[in-house]
Amino acid sequence: MTMALSVRDMVVTFDGFRALDTVSVDVEHGASFGIVGESGSGKSTLLRAVAGLNSFESGTLEVDGRRFKGKARDRDFYRTVQMVFQDPYGSLHPRQTVDRLLLEPLAIHGFADVDRRIERALDEVGLGTGFRFRYSHQLSGGQRQRVAIARALIVEPKILLLDEPTSALDASIQAEILNLLEQARKDRNLTFIMVSHDLAVISHMCERLAVMRDGEMVEQFSVEDLRSRSFSTDYTRQLLKASEGFRRTQSA
């Protein structure tokens, strides 16, 4: 069976430092797969290597049965794979209107009927056409992230790479964005690969997850295993304990 995403023994180095050390992962079509770990564990580096933003020195990457090397990606790849970044302030061009931000990917990929597609994209993320000609500095953080999601969805991808998509937002907005993403996945039968340091977010959004540490894949298991504490490493137990302790402290 062809996987939506298959990574085998991927290695990424920066100035001799191994940021990813022979990482392997498979994600099935229509699945939602989470990657968790501490800051610096390599989880975002893995996503960026898949997207072609970082090169990888060795190993293999297959997306929907097609193999890619290094940083080389073609237009068809970006019709299949889109990425939503952590920072909605840094991922949108400050001098472009929302209309321009959404028009650009449509023009690159040769879509017609752009007005209808832009209006549909804004409606899908809970923004009306009144936002179409605003600039990003006129939007709140949550609204900016909705525009970023609309920009990713507008080319009708099959796979979304989500790099901490709510961590830069207020807690009151995070649930809204997560619910929006989950609805989009169901409506479009998308495959998600989501990076987060928050196990609660991953357990809400994903069916399976991987734990990373120091550039290596520690273990992989289902969300049911996470909830029943059926995992094998002390590191995962410590990560879960730290996550639960942080949430208790925040609610106190």
pLDDT of residue 251: 44
- Give the separation between CA 42 and CA 39, rounded to whole angstroms: 8
pLDDT of residue 2: 81
CATH (residue range 5-251): 3.40.50.300
**Angle, CA 85 vertex, CA 93 and CA 82 arms, to 5°:** 95
The encoded tokens of residue 45 equal 């580096």
* pTM recorded for the entire structure: 0.92
The encoded tokens of residue 196 equal 């987060």
pLDDT of residue 200: 85
pLDDT of residue 245: 56
- Give the separation between CA 72 and CA 213, rounded to whole angstroms: 27
* Sheet architecture: strand order including 5-14: 17-27, 5-14, 58-63, 66-68
Residues recorded for the chain: 252
Provide the residue ranges of all domains of the chain, joining segments of one domain with +: 5-251
Query: Which DSSP category does 33 fall into?
Result: E
pLDDT along the chain (252 residues), means of 10: 93 95 97 94 96 95 94 94 89 91 95 95 94 94 94 97 90 91 95 92 93 95 89 87 60 43
Contact 23, 216 (CB under 8 A): yes
